[in-house]
Structure 1
Amino acid sequence: MPKVVKRTFSLTEEQAKFIDSMVERGDYASGSEVVRESVRKMREDDAIIEKWLVEEVLPTIEEMEAHPERLVPLDEAFDRIEAKIRSRTRAAE
């Protein structure tokens, strides 16, 4: 098991109540466990976001910069989206 380092943090009353409720419900054995799980989840989320940025967003930006002629003006893009929504709404009726 990794070495545990003790820290002191200030929380709002609402945050403290939330942590206490998680422990009282039996979801976690202690407030420290809630915080450790929260940090683990944040690290996992950050890794997912970083992967998405590197694998999808950056290549899309690079493609847009390489081929600006393919870009659609914002107003036109919204018009297309609204038309698609109207079309699907009519089809569902």
Structure 2
Amino acid sequence: MRTTQQLSITLPNEMAEAVKAKVQAGEYASESEVIRDGLRALMARDRAVENWLHSEVGPAYDALKADPSRAVTVDQVRARLAAEHAKRTR
């Protein structure tokens, strides 16, 4: 049984040239390797975002829902950002 599948894809000229340039520079042996590596990176990013949502965003939402007094106002956020900016520009 095959573990690969042949696809025909269309890329914008700029992306197609970037793929070809990677192969011509010797960074990859084939255009397929470039695409596979890019897809692996995309899948890793998706896993990282999914992990962040489950490990940080979800619990933060649950905590805020359980205790709404933890929320900060827009004015408080702006004041905090302004203070951080002032510290860095001194």
For 1:17-70, what per-residue CA distance to the aligned partner results, in whole angstroms no more than 9, with x for missing partners?
A: 000111111110111010111111111111111111100010001111111112
Measure the CA separation in 2 of the matches of 1:87 and 1:33. Answer: 46
- Indicate the residue corresponding to 2:41 in structure 1: 41
Q: Which runs of 4+ in 1 moved over 6 A?
A: none
Distance 1:88 1:16, change over 3 A: closer
> Where do 5+ consecutive residues of structure 2 fail to align?
none
The secondary structure found in structure 2 opposite 1:21 is helix
> Where do 5+ consecutive residues of structure 1 fail to align?
none
TM-score (norm 1): 0.87
Q: Aligned letter for 2:40?
A: R
Measure the CA separation in 2 of the matches of 1:36 and 1:48. Answer: 18
Measure the CA separation in 2 of the matches of 1:64 and 1:3. Answer: 46
The secondary structure found in structure 2 opposite 1:5 is coil
Measure the CA separation in 1 of the matches of 2:26 and 2:51. Answer: 34
Measure the CA separation in 2 of the matches of 1:84 and 1:6. Answer: 52
Comparing 23-32 and 80-89, the one that deviates more: 80-89
1:9 aligns with 2:9: yes
Distance 1:12 1:81, change over 3 A: same
